[in-house]
Structure 1
């Protein structure tokens, strides 16, 4: 059944810095920060959370339906999604904007610095949740601020269960707005850093948050993830990557597995286990959308 993926479509410019950021940035001189990083490796990939998640879902054989907005330079991206079998019926185009652009630099310790131009993503709220009866599950992933707020309300009103995945968009919202997302969502997924911010801004512990939704997942990178249900925590062990090549997009690979499992009616722990394997498969490959999903 179709899975609605609300989020961004972006072009990712991915750069590799062969040193360590910590060795180039002097804490005592942050007030006059002026640094330059030599990046011998650079490539351009198809990215954005909706694009990455939809790609992962197609790798698993699922029916992915992105709800997103491209810019006037997005025809190449649209053609790629269609060639992959992604349902693009609800991908809009903003004629006067560029497609969102992310510039991502990774150091030798897999720390990342990212610059992001939202472009057409800023108008994603003008693309409403479709009124179709066959949607079984959805996700609110990082997107334009207004789009995330609007689509969450529309999904809740339509009775479509959805995952709230604020990701790097979490700082855009205050405590009351985040509480509203929690009240509307069916499940929530964050990494450990985002989870701490979500807890701090709302004043709610993980137990409190889990009591308000069907499930909360807190990912812990190579250490796996915590699955909170009914105020109780289960730790799902991580999967060791065969080779750490590039962490870009591994969180979206996890989300794709989560959505696939939820659509199949799996337990949250089983969904998280596949997510850990998908994330490990992604981190072992190079590029934004070029990994092979593990067997189910």
Structure 2
């Protein structure tokens, strides 16, 4: 059961600011911001939505196939994919570019400010869904604008069911384009902020978006998630954690749980709960790919949290 993951592979430079952004930004001076944050902690991580989703799906012993574009500096990431036994036959190298890079500053309240250089990601439209071969389902995650438009259209024309996950790429599209994505997609997954922006740009309510898809999934952080399907709203609880260390990549871990559940034809309650658990496991670790539970450990945590096994 192969899941095609269309999205970015990126290097993340993550910095931790020990205060709160709200304390450093003056409300009456936002028209001329000139702020420097002291970041005593810094690290470089493997990231990108496709990389993070693939990593988490591999933890579940799923079969991720990443479709992405990388640059001249990508060899460490390619070596990592080989070590993880994640196929990179649909990863295209662009010699004239650098791999996409994110510079993320997180404050003590878990708020984030991110600067992003797309690099080779801007060439993602050079990849074709048909080149992936047989896949059971796909996800169109944040990527180059042209690539996201093309991959969604390709999936629809080839009959590949897919999740539309606009993420931080949502502002690149206008209302008509977002409505088109929704019409093409089998499922739509957004966080609470993205849900508000999606409604604002399309003029559609959550119920109206859900009516155009098989399911609409809205994550709400520590408040859990909501799944709108078959005219109903399913409430998915958040899995408690001992310590929330780093939110980077939690949404991607959640989406890996969705892909696994959908690929295994699980019911929505189980799929949502597994996704919630994967997000909870991730938030207890720094970076998007540094948590490493075994499949039996994931199964045991699911049983402990929900009282049955998936």
Asked whether the two chains share a fold, i.e. TM above 0.5, the reply is: yes
1:148 is displaced (CA, Å) by 0.2
Summarize the alignment of residues 52-91 of structure 1 with structure 2, pairs less than 5 Å apart: 52-91=52-91
Deviation of 1:287 (Å): 2.2
Q: For the Cα contact (< 8 Å) 1:281–1:292, is it kept in 2? A: no
Q: Take 2:269 and 2:133, find their aligned partners in 1: how far apart are those partners?
A: 28
What are the Cα deviations for residues 128-161 of structure 1, in whole angstroms up to 9, with x where unaligned? 1134553001000000000000000001111000
Rounded to whole Å, the distance in 1 between the matches of 2:132 and 2:254 is: 26
Shift of 1:267: 1.6
Give SS of 1:89's match.
strand
Q: Which residue of 2 aligns with 1:122?
A: 122
- Matching of residues 252-263 of structure 1 within 5 Å: 252-263=252-263
Deviations 1:173-210 (A, max 9, x none): 00100010011000000001100111111111111111
The 5 A counterparts of 1:82-231 are: 82-131=82-131, 134-231=134-231
Q: Is the 8 A contact 1:53 1:252 kept in 2?
A: yes
Q: Deviations over 1:25-72 (max 9, x none)?
A: 001001111000000000000000000000001000011100000001
Q: Distance in 1 between the 2:203 and 2:214 partners?
A: 19
Q: CA RMSD in A?
A: 1.0
Q: Is the 8 A contact 1:3 1:259 kept in 2?
A: yes
Work out whether residues 226 and 233 of structure 1, in 8 Å CA contact, stay in contact via their aligned partners in 2.
Answer: yes
> Helix, strand or coil: the match of 1:245?
coil
Q: Distance in 1 between matches of 2:4 and 2:133?
A: 12
Post-superposition offset of 1:221: 0.4
* CA distance in 2: counterparts of 1:268 and 1:71, whole angstroms: 38
Paired with 2:141 and 2:11, the residues of 1 have a C-alpha distance of 16
User: Given that residues 187 and 215 in structure 2 are in contact (C-alpha distance below 8 angstroms), is that contact kept between their aligned partners in structure 1?
Assistant: yes
What SS is found at the alignment partner of 1:130? Answer: helix
- What SS does the corresponding residue of 1:243 show, helix, strand or coil? coil
Matches within 5 A, 1:43-54: 43-54=43-54
Name the CA distance, whole Å, in 1 between partners of 2:182 and 2:251. Answer: 20
Q: Is residue 245–residue 285 contact of structure 2 (8 Å, CA) maintained in 1?
A: yes
Query: How far apart, in 2, do the equivalents of 1:132 and 1:44 lie?
Result: 30
Partner of 1:34: 34
1:56 is paired with a residue of what secondary structure? helix
Q: Provide the rounded CA distance (Å) in 2 between the counterparts of 1:234 and 1:132.
A: 33
Find the aligned partners of 2:131 and 2:8 in 1 and give their Cα distance: 20
**Secondary structure in structure 2 of the residue aligned to 1:146:** helix
Question: May I ask how many residue pairs the two structures share in their alignment?
Answer: 296
Structure 1 residue runs of 5 or longer lacking an equivalent are none
Q: TM-score, normalised by structure 2?
A: 0.94
Corresponding residue number in structure 2 for 1:266: 266
